[in-house]
Structure 1
Amino acid sequence: MHITQEAAKRHTLAIMVDNEPGILARIAGLFTARGYNIESLTVSDVTADKAVSRITIVTSASDHVMEQILSQLDRLIPVHSVSDLTAMGPHVERELALVKVKGTGDHRIEALRLADVYRARVVDATTSSFVFEVTGGPDKIDTFIMLMREVGLIEVARTGIVAMARGKDPA
């Protein structure tokens, strides 16, 4: 008897929850208890009265495990809705990163040239370094950081992914 193991795929989840203490820990605990890593996590209130927050989680799991995770998330009391944006189809993902780079001599010129190509904005500059702000999809951010390593990367801070389904319907 041959048993095949279902491959893990990357999933981007949008979870609408009551903005209350402890909910993020409960959701993260659900992933931890099953041994699944959260690759990216962002949270922000999304209503004028700050009563509801949107949690965006990126994780990797098989389709079967993802069904279980979605079902368990949906059963949590303060959860309003859970959407697997990946399964829904086309969606937009963006991330912001601050990237600090040494900048002297030829490396300074190259860092500025690369920043221009990637539409990164200089948000701080000294005679020996730059801090660039770059936004875009995760692949663009990864590539920009990789290139900056070659010219003197010092430090990186990333926001995590925010995502939204395309089209007129909410996630």
Structure 2
Amino acid sequence: MPSKTTSKSQSDEWFAELQAKLLPEIECPGSWQLFSKRLPPHPDTLKFAINMSTGTCDALELTEGLAKNSDVGDFLNRCFCDVKPERLYFDGDKSVHMGALVIWAASNGVSIIAHPLCTDCGKIRGLIASLTEALNIDFGAPFETLQTTLASWRESYNAGVSGESKTP
């Protein structure tokens, strides 16, 4: 880990080396990324899972209020009822309830990789920017309006990602 006295170029080099170790694996089939974020000004929690090999948002859920441990486990059960991920990444955000995530992964035989650099690949950056833009349109809207906005965004985003993968 770079120290405070490390130069910017040395620090960038260290992060690039770490990403090179993570990124070839993070975008392989069987890799998924989990996010759980609070949506200010509301206390609502947005949970979503990204299929890292396709870049699609395969599960998206808005929960009224702050997510509880049981919410995370239930969400993952719904996400992966038809497919078993090999690896589940997340950015180490404290809003993801680690206890529930670890219990779910252990009981389902899934490896968990927690590191802030997991969110630094191109597919995630584009998705986050698109999702943020969609949410900003309805900033401060009631819960039901946000649910509709998110469902529409997910459909549109996935159609765009699927279209890109078919382009030679």
TM range (shorter): under 0.3
Higher strand fraction: Structure 1 or Structure 2? 1
Higher RCO (CA-CA < 8 Å; seq separation 6+) = 1
Taking structure 2 as the reference length, the TM-score comes to 0.27
TM-score, normalization: structure 1? 0.26
